[in-house]
Amino acid sequence: MAMEKQFMISDTHSRTITAVGFHPVRREIVAGFEDGIMKWWEQDTGKLMLTSCEHKGWLTDFQYWAEHKTLLSCANDGLIIAWGSGGNVLDRIKLNYPIYVMCLNLRRQQIICGLNGSVQLFSLDPQKHSGHLIDQRRPHITRHHHDIVPCIICHESRVYTAG
């Protein structure tokens, strides 16, 4: 199967793109910029559908939680935002420190966040018993890294990190 260029979005924003994601329910490509702006483009035409400014720092990652049709965005402002299928904000989770990468471990119902010098694992809480989609009360924290953790991947029951 060969790859083929479908379209190119050249006029994106005046600031640097710092994260790219995809929202399958909305069928939109999402880009995050260093000034906190998020832009959503239709995947088939490249038409700009939505611009939002919920973050106050560099957007660093997007994760799609298929079971709940929720897109999660994070930034170095210490905020994780949950976006619904209508492009609306479902939840704002303040961690109070920059988040450089996120990974969902659906087998264990966890979200894993790469931070500066540590990795934190939080339980997912879709019923919001803790008040948010992520239960911040008892994170599991590992401090095996001495710098920013920009890479996390989950495979089956294992979590791999790089920094």
Which pLDDT tens digit goes with each residue over 9-35? 777 788 899 999 999 998 999 999 999
Which pLDDT tens digit goes with each residue over 42-60? 998 889 999 999 999 999 9
| Secondary structure of the chain as H, E, C letters | CCCCCCCCCCCCCCCCEEEEEEECCCCEEEEEECCCCEEEEECCCCCEEEEECCCCCCEEEEEEEHHHCEEEEEECCCEEEEECCCCCEEEEEECCCCCCEEEEECCCCEEEEECECCEEEEEECCCCCCCCCEEEEEEEEECCCCCECCEEEEECCEEEEEC
pTM of the model: 0.90
Domain 17-162: which topology?
Answer: Methylamine Dehydrogenase; Chain H (2.130.10)
Locate the domains of the chain by residue range: 17-162
